[in-house]
Amino acid sequence: MSAPAITNVPVVQEPTAIQGSFLHDTWAIFVREVMLILRDPFSLVFSLMQPLIFLGLFAPLLTGSMGSMFGDAGSTADTLQWFVPGVIVMICLFGTTMSGSNLLFELMTGSYERLLATPLSRTALLTGRSLKEFAPLVLQGLLIVLLCLPFGFKMYPAHLFVGLLLLGIFGIGVGALSISLALASKNREWLFWTIQQSLMFPLLILSGMMLPLESGPGWMQVAAKFNPLTYIVDAERDLLSGTFGSSNVLWGAVAAVATCVIGMIVGIRATKRTI
């Protein structure tokens, strides 16, 4: 006996993913990441603690030893004008290198996998997360400058704006690299922290962020030339001192853009490989 013919069976089609534009997806991820910060502002405040400790305890020690640099006995205002840009770059470095740790937490809780299941562009996942680094950097940098104004620090608004913009571009690239490291270290959190800590402090010291490298040994001065953070610190010092047209600013812009481009390329590739 032959089986009855089955007719008029509705064809079940897979639901069509409603994908927005790349900019729309990026904005959605950016807003999501910013909302996480607003819901837990303590993390933003906590990231300021270490730079503030350096500023409060390390800067006074420099005041008496900056005479050779400024041609006098040194003053608090001169020291702050030299040291504050380094502190702002320090905030950038500490904050953006921690981007991967936030992703590691999401990987452990499964929330990142749920994002991957959405129709959002994977490129937008990385771009939105990286752009998020710009917002807290601007806020924290501005706060540091305002705190130092009563102690003689001179603020040049236009130069400060360009300096924070430059730092934001650099931070986007570093954040993307940190996210890439987190994706590569999935289920091996120790690997992320080992590499992050092993790289962060040598980069910090070899940038001349806390002490002038001119008084250091020759090998350290040579190593500093291969450190992109060195050019960022020099550019920030010139900008926050009211100088636009120096070679340091130009090289700082080159280092910031190069770091951003490399970080985004590496990050996007790592995100697309994520299953």
What one-character-per-residue DSSP string does 147-206 give?
HHGGGT----HHHHHHHHHHHHHHHHHHHHHHHHHHHHTTT-HHHHHHHHHHHHHHHHHT
Number of domains in the chain: 1
In a domain, 69, yes or no: no
| Segments forming the whole domain that contains residue 156 | 22-31+38-58+75-273
In a domain, 17, yes or no: no
Counting residues of the chain whose pLDDT is more than 90, the rounded percentage is: 18
- Single pTM value for the model: 0.81
Local confidence band at 78 (pLDDT 50, 70, 90 cut-offs)? confident
pLDDT (0 to 100) of residue 270: 87
pLDDT tens readout for residues 145-168: 888 888 888 889 999 999 999 998
In a domain, 217, yes or no: yes
In a domain, 230, yes or no: yes
In a domain, 3, yes or no: no
In a domain, 14, yes or no: no
In a domain, 67, yes or no: no
pLDDT at 10 over 80: no
Whole-Å CA distances, 92 to 47, 50, 127, 275: 10, 12, 17, 30
In a domain, 13, yes or no: no
